[in-house]
Amino acid sequence: MVVALVVEEARTFEIENSNARTKLLRLQQKVEICSHVDMENSQRLEDELPRLRLCRQMAEVQLPENARSSESSGPMEYSPERRIGRMTCMMCLQNDVSVVLLPCRHQVLYFPCFERNCSAVRTNCPYCNVRIEPSIRLFGPSS
């Protein structure tokens, strides 16, 4: 009877030990996966930072002098000709969009801005960061 209790306790101990090892392995795998995801996210952010700096530089270069001055006492006012809206170029903030970027199909740039900043070097859409492949110039009343 004592032998049977010792055998039962040994079996229970082995089962608990096996369960603990399995749990430890699952936790190690989870830590490894989380670490990998964090490294990917960090790399993605590091890759996006130069693009954001470039967009900021382009915006600073293209802002009119009166918009750049820090001496303006109030919020910047936009005339109807210089509206910021759904169909205004994201770079110059003045002209209507006139380019469709593919494959994302965003219409966020004025064609001269696109030519000056994006067409020579393969770049990404300033709205969604998808690599621009071909583009289509739009012609219409505002072009």
As a whole number of angstroms, the distance between CA 109 and CA 83 comes to: 14
The rounded distance, in Å, linking the Cα atoms of 141 and 82 is 17
**Mean pLDDT, the chain, integer:** 78
Residue type, 104: C
pTM over 0.85: no
Per-domain residue ranges for the chain?
2-66, 78-143
Return the residue matching tokens 């936009």.
78
Phi, psi angle pair for 132, to nearest 5°: -80, 125
**78-143 fold:** Herpes Virus-1 (3.30.40)
Mean pLDDT (whole number) for 3-11: 90
Q: Which helix (H) or strand (E) holds 108?
A: strand 106-109
Confidence of residue 22 (pLDDT cuts 50, 70, 90): very high
